[in-house]
Amino acid sequence: MSAPFSPDPSCQDPVEAPELKPVDEARHALFEAVSVVPGEGEVALSAARGRVLSADVIARADVPGHNNSAMDGFAVRAADLPEVGSSAEFEIVASAWAGQPATVPVAAGEAVQVTTGAVMPRGADTVVIQERVRRDASRLTVLGGERAHANVRLAGEDIRRGEVALRAGVRLGAAEMGFLASLGVARVAVHRRLRVALFSTGDELVALESGRALAAGEVYDSNRYSVTAALAALDVELVDLGIVADDAEATRKAFERAARDADVVIATGGASVSEADHVARTLREMGEVTFWRVAMRPGRPLASGRVGQAQFFGLPGNPVATLVSYYQFVQPALKKMMGMDELFPPVFKARCQSALKKSAGRVEYQRGVVGQVDGEVVVHTTGRQGAGRLSSMVQANCFIVLHADQSGVETGDWVDVQPFDALC
């Protein structure tokens, strides 16, 4: 009787260790080869979300610009606060709203009513919150026990004039956008957006856009959709070159166009060294390209190099392998090219609720579901891990990273996880 088909053939084949390049070595070689794309420019802050600073931003003024009240209440002198067990009377002499400072100073025994954000009146150094006073027309009674200097935000406590507000290499997200606006920075120096050309290779691929039903042996081109979506998180300018047939001439044309238009060319499929894989052969003729078999699963074949002025990445065609290779190799390299200083996603420890099989000698990026049980971070596998099963990525919310020296995981072991949310 013949052996049954393996359910996940691409993942079951034995590791031929001698030819495999360790993940860290491949990563190192890749990062050595790429550098920041030239061409910085200045853009309005309003258009700078997602861009990467090409120069440090220095604060030109203190933020906040003045001492101001952190609460609604009454500004007084700390020296006038009563001892615990006694009380003190104040005369309310003025009010100050955010944006409308008081015109008179606070003298001994006097108070100014303030709202949150109001500039502290001259002479006052403490705010007693409104919930803790008794007020009768312009008379105010404060009981003992109030803290001196309470509820006052000091000028420059967020950042001082002359300090580095944000370093070059920071990507502008919500917090950074708000911070720069608070500093009055209306224009920022940023790196150029990357232009990335993307195409899929394979005679069996059908473009969803064609509206055509599949014939026997055909599959829809899903990689362009997944990689396009992943690239969107980096705000690149995408040049979609569609599907390229397994044909030398078509492959050459695609590469010529891609290399002319883009800083980066990403192709999926055909990166293995088999004779039918025109990406590999054409690239060897056209540029300087290295093909690796990386000691990882999924995603063994990986190509990288230069075609014309463009940086090239060749990813495996299997849809899960494509995404794994994209996140583990391509995205950090793109971040480096964008001028970013934080390239790798954070890794967390989680207690594994499943036993996981694995052979030593390669890194595995298994798909898992991370969550919390009784305050502990736990993860379980999504089950079958075939490199073609995109459903395993959809069910998952993290990669379970099993390192080269690990050989299997017992239930209850700690493992490294990379949450998908933190990947971009």
Is residue 205 involved in binding ligand AMP (CB under 6 A)? Answer: yes
Segment interacting with ligand AMP, rule: CB under 6 A, options 123-131, 248-256, 312-320, 359-367: 312-320
Which of 272, 282 has the CB closer to ligand AMP?
A: 272
Q: Could you tell which of ligand AMP, Mg ion, none binds residue 121, using a CB distance below 5 to 8 A set by kind?
A: none
Q: Tell me how far, at minimum, the Cβ of 204 lies from ligand AMP, in Å.
A: 5
Residue 216: both structure tokens together: 């026997």
Compute how many other C-beta atoms are within 10 angstroms of the C-beta atom of residue 218: 14
Residues 183, 59: contact at Cβ < 8 Å? yes
Q: Tell me how far, at minimum, the Cβ of 30 lies from ligand AMP, in Å.
A: 19
Q: Could you tell which of Mg ion, ligand AMP, none binds residue 69, using a CB distance below 5 to 8 A set by kind?
A: none
Is residue 200 involved in binding ligand AMP (CB under 6 A)? Answer: yes
Which of 121, 316 has the CB closer to ligand AMP?
A: 316
Q: Which of 292, 293, 234, 285 is nearest to 263 (CA)?
A: 234
Cα 219 vs. chain centroid, distance in angstroms?
31
The binding site for Mg ion (CB under 5 A) comprises: 202, 269-270, 317
Is residue 222 involved in binding ligand AMP (CB under 6 A)? Answer: yes
262-272 residues labelled b (16+ CB within 10 A) or e (exposed): bbbbbbbbbbb
Is residue 202 involved in binding ligand AMP (CB under 6 A)? Answer: yes
Residue nearest to ligand AMP (CB): 317
List C-alpha distances in Å: 118 to 38, 60, 123, 139, 158.
Answer: 46, 22, 14, 21, 16
Helix (H, G, I), strand (E, B) or coil at 352: strand
List C-alpha distances in Å: 55 to 178, 203, 339.
Answer: 18, 46, 10
> What single-letter DSSP state applies at residue 308?
T
Among 73, 121, 156, 270, binds ligand AMP (CB under 6 A): 270
* Residue whose tokens read 């990525």: 393
Which of 74, 312 has the CB closer to Mg ion?
A: 312
Q: Could you tell which of ligand AMP, Mg ion, none binds residue 332, using a CB distance below 5 to 8 A set by kind?
A: none
Which of 11, 267 has the CB closer to Mg ion?
A: 267
Segment interacting with ligand AMP, rule: CB under 6 A, options 13-21, 217-225, 324-332, 398-406: 217-225
Q: Could you tell which of Mg ion, ligand AMP, none binds residue 316, using a CB distance below 5 to 8 A set by kind?
A: ligand AMP
Strand pairing class (301-307; 310-315): antiparallel
Is residue 319 involved in binding ligand AMP (CB under 6 A)? Answer: yes
Residues 368, 398: contact at Cβ < 8 Å? yes
> What single-letter DSSP state applies at residue 17?
G
Task: Give the integer Cα–Cα distance in Å for 284 and 276.
Answer: 14
Q: Tell me how far, at minimum, the Cβ of 293 lies from ligand AMP, in Å.
A: 13
Q: Which residues bind ligand AMP (CB under 6 A)?
A: 200, 202, 204-205, 219, 221-223, 268-272, 316-319
